[in-house]
């Protein structure tokens, strides 16, 4: 079941987003009672405030474009929410392109940045009218030869090692992403031979980047690359802003980055002699903190060395702690003021699916509801049916109430598309 949302109201005062409805733990408990667990909940106001924060940080850039990374959370209702506040889209597959179009985005509001896909898929995306971003020399030459009039963005690899985890560092020398900055002569030869139109330069170094000097260093590489092309319309700096996962955790200082990068970008634009758009492709920054994952405690199991809290979920619903080692803040919202004890929180999958080791959490009893913070990005979108488990429901918290935006799966969903012999 999909609920297609129309307009989303927001209150803006002095260019700063003002929250209309705060969501608290009691609200989350009620949502779990209404929609069941496990359950994903997304706070619409938080998504809007993060979008507003990024725009304000770069308010002195005349032409700013924010391309939300669909892969972070692709629910149609979330895409419509972002469209309503002015966002564009960053997509990595033809399916994400079609989701964006279905959600009401115009082709020119979508950039398509694939990696390792078939040439036929790239042509299909181009046929839909979206911005094409190419990160492979052979594909660049093939596409330029066949479609020289279609504007193309080039993704470069700046050879900058950045990111909170090796799995999400994508701008280093051994990365599969982007065309090496050292291969610029090859790029220029292809462009000259095919007479293709290059209208953008793109890079993305990784995710969970804390040091803004990394962005600024990579920006200089991007500026240097851009000087090789005379008819650019935009420069896309990717994203990778770090968000806080735990109470007191540090995050990327967006405001400071905004001041420094704005100054450098405007100086480059002046020297370039042509109006340019500054683009970002945030995913985690916009939706991560807006997400809550709710799971019920099935069992509390004490061994000779550990007290396990086993929940009605597993890495089939939230794989980030196992895949990336990410630490999501976990709280017992059924007993928030209870005495803290040490628990290892695990799932019900027949694998080692440990969410947290020896974590201090308010005393847990069977039937209690645990809340995982920062569950808006790369959580539901990376879920699966492993162990033949159903995917959970998704709810949008808006205007002080929960709206179902994806129904919980049923046994019929597991059988769908299977051919019974």
Which residue numbers are catalytic?
A: 350
Residues 243, 248, 252, 253: is their CA dihedral positive or negative? positive
SS3 46: helix
Q: Write the DSSP symbol of residue 312.
A: S
144's tokens: 């330029």
Pair 169, 162: CB distance under 8 Å: yes
Per-residue tokens: 191: 């462009």
Inter-CA distances, 198 with 56, 105, 235, 293, 300, Å: 29, 23, 11, 42, 59
The whole-angstrom distance between residue 216's C-alpha and the CA centroid of its chain comes to 21
φ and ψ of 206, to 5 deg: 160, -170
Q: How far is CA 139 from CA 92, 142, 187, 347, in A?
A: 16, 5, 11, 43
Assigned token pair, 388: 């033949």
In 58-162, which residue ranges form alpha helices assigned H by DSSP?
76-84, 94-102, 119-127, 137-146
Write out the E strands in 303-418: 307-311, 330-332, 340-346, 354-362, 369-372, 393-398, 401-406
3-state secondary structure of 235: strand
């Amino acid at each position: 079941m999909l609920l297609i949302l129309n307009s989303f109201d927001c209150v803006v005062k002095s260019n700063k987003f003002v929250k209309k409805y705060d969501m608290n733990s009691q609200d989350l408990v009620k949502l779990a009672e209404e929609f069941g667990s496990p359950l994903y909940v997304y706070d619409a106001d938080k998504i809007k405030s993060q979008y507003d924060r990024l725009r304000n940080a770069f308010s002195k850039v005349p032409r700013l474009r924010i391309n939300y990374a669909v892969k972070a959370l692709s629910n149609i209702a979330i895409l419509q929410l972002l469209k309503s506040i002015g966002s564009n889209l960053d997509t990595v597959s033809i399916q994400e392109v079609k989701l964006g179009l279905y959600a009401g985005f115009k082709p020119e509001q979508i950039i398509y940045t694939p990696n390792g896909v078939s040439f036929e898929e790239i042509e299909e995306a181009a046929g839909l009218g979206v911005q094409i971003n190419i990160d492979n020399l052979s594909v660049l030459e093939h596409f330029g030869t066949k479609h020289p009039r279609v504007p193309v963005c080039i993704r470069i690899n700046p050879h900058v090692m950045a990111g909170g985890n090796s799995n999400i560092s994508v701008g280093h020398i051994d990365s599969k992403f982007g065309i090496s900055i050292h291969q610029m002569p090859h790029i220029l030869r292809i462009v000259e031979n095919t007479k293709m139109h290059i209208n953008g330069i793109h890079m993305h170094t990784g995710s969970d980047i804390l040091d803004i000097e990394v962005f600024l260093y990579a920006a200089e590489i991007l500026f240097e690359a851009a000087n090789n092309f005379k008819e650019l319309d935009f420069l896309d700096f990717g994203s990778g802003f770090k968000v806080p996962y735990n109470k007191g955790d540090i995050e990327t200082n967006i405001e400071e980055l905004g001041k420094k990068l704005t100054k450098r970008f405007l100086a480059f634009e002046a020297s370039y002699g042509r109006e340019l758009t500054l683009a970002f492709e945030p995913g985690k920054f916009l939706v991560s903190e807006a997400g809550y994952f709710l799971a019920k405690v099935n069992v509390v199991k004490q061994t000779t060395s550990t007290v396990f809290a086993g929940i009605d979920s597993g890495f089939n619903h939230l794989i980030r702690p196992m895949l990336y080692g990410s630490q999501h803040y976990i709280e017992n919202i059924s007993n928030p003021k209870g005495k803290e004890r040490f628990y290892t929180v695990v799932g019900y999958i027949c694998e080692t699916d440990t969410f947290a080791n020896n974590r201090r959490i308010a005393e847990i009893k069977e039937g209690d509801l645990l809340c995982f913070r920062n569950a808006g990005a790369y959580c539901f979108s990376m879920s699966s049916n492993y162990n033949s488990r159903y995917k959970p429901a998704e709810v949008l918290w808006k205007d002080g109430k929960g709206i179902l935006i994806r129904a919980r799966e049923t046994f019929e969903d597991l059988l769908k598309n299977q051919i019974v012999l």
